Amino acid sequence: MKKLVIGGCRSGKSRYAEQWVAENFSNKVFVATLEPRDDAEMDQRIALHRQSRGLGWLTLEEPLDLVGVLDKNEADVEVFLVDCLTMWLTNMMMQDFSDEKIQEEVARLCTTVAGLSASVVLVANEVGLGIVPESSLGRRFRDLAGWTNQQMAVACQQVVLVAAGLPLQLKG
């Protein structure tokens, strides 16, 4: 099963994805794309996410090389939960990846996800429902996030939109 879970900030998408994985798999890996930084508020968010998952998860932190971490660990797991693609995109942008390089990485991820024997659940923010960002960087981010979500939706068998904690099946 390849599944994309999208939603706005604090929509419940991560909780939904974690619960769905926990109910359907025993050998599960959480792939975190957010790197702990010198940010107390973000450190608290990371701690809350770890606590909400509970025991039984192997956590791998990988800010950039999602394809590598999936390929390297595929034989050992039933399911990967990647949270989140939007932070992965942010990490690439912060490393000055060009749009073309980001699109190549997204294409590589789509191909890898489709070819894995393990199941994959990908979490991403839906950022296109808000106002048009004021800055060119904000618009670039919004556009790349929307494009990434579209590509991943094609690669996945199921797509679920979560709003107000409620899942809405968009595909599959």
Specify the CATH number for the domain of residue 104: 3.40.50.300
pLDDT at 96: 96
Answering whether pTM is above 0.85, one says yes
pLDDT at 51: 72
Short-list 117, 96, 95, 106, CA closest to 144: 106
| 65 vs 61: CA distance, rounded Å | 10
Supply the range of the domain harboring residue 62. Answer: 2-171
The residues of the chain scoring below 70 in pLDDT are 36
pLDDT at 45: 75
| 62 vs 36: CA distance, rounded Å | 11
18: Cβ contacts below 8 Å, ≥ 6 apart: 52, 53, 81
Query: Which sequence positions are flagged as catalytic?
Result: 49
pLDDT at 40: 84
Instruction: Please count the structural domains in the chain.
Output: 1
Q: Please answer whether residues 80 and 90 qualify as being in contact, where contact means their C-beta atoms are separated by less than 8 angstroms.
A: no
pLDDT at 150: 97
pLDDT at 38: 80
